[in-house]
Amino acid sequence: MSEQPKTFPVSWEQLHRDAKALSWRLMNEGPFEGILAVTRGGLVPAAIIARELDIRLIDTVCIVSYSSDNKQGELKVLKDAPKESKGWLIVDDLVDTGKTARAVREMMPDAHFATLYAKPAGRDIVDSFITEVSQDTWIYFPWDLALQTVPPLVQGKYD
């Protein structure tokens, strides 16, 4: 039997719990002037954290690093970050290889960087995170999932 790929499916409920847990951690790091959400994955966590920390100033940095077929490609900045970084909180869903996080960190060197999930290759770039997963684990976020039936494991189909 072939080895099953490592996956970490995240439900909407789990995402909300993890964003709220991250908010608890961040309460001692602020106060923050505003939140910079890294699009698109950081938008939902940023909204939850903004509510929990009562932050009304929210901006985005728009970066593309994954294609629609989940392959990491060339980093492309579509919208830059604000010029001032002191007192800001950067929020993303995940730090993976650290490629996107490094680019955002260069734009806002004095900001506090927080993600829900971290992989070892990018963990040192962020200041706060909730859950660490192995580098070879694929995280399935709720906005990328649909309810469907799945075959039994013995059939060898793992998608």
Q: Which of 69, 80, 92, 127 is catalytic?
A: 92
131 is in an annotated binding site: no
Could you give the CA distance from residue 60 to residue 109 in angstroms, rounded to a whole number? 16
Q: Which of 54, 59, 80, 93 is catalytic?
A: 93
96 is catalytic: yes
Could you give the CA distance from residue 107 to residue 111 in angstroms, rounded to a whole number? 9
Alpha helices in the chain (DSSP H): 12-26, 43-53, 99-107
* 3-state secondary structure at position 124: helix
69 is in an annotated binding site: no
Q: Work out whether strand 58-66 and strand 34-39 pair parallel, antiparallel, or are unpaired.
A: parallel
41 is in an annotated binding site: yes
143 is in an annotated binding site: no
126 is in an annotated binding site: no
93 is catalytic: yes
Structure-token pair, residue 68: 């629609």
DSSP assignment letter at 140: E
Q: Which of 18, 54, 96, 110 is catalytic?
A: 96
> What does each C-alpha distance from 78 to 51, 68, 158 come to in angstroms?
26, 16, 34
HSE on the CB side for 147, CA within 13 Å?
2
94 is in an annotated binding site: yes
18 is in an annotated binding site: no
91 is in an annotated binding site: no
138 is in an annotated binding site: yes
80 is catalytic: no
- The annotation places the binding site for guanine at 96, 139
- The annotation places the binding site for 5-phospho-alpha-D-ribose 1-diphosphate at 40-41, 92-100
The residues that are catalytic are 92-93, 96
- The annotation places the binding site for xanthine at 96, 139
- The annotation places the binding site for GMP at 96-100, 138-139
- The annotation places the binding site for Mg(2+) at 93
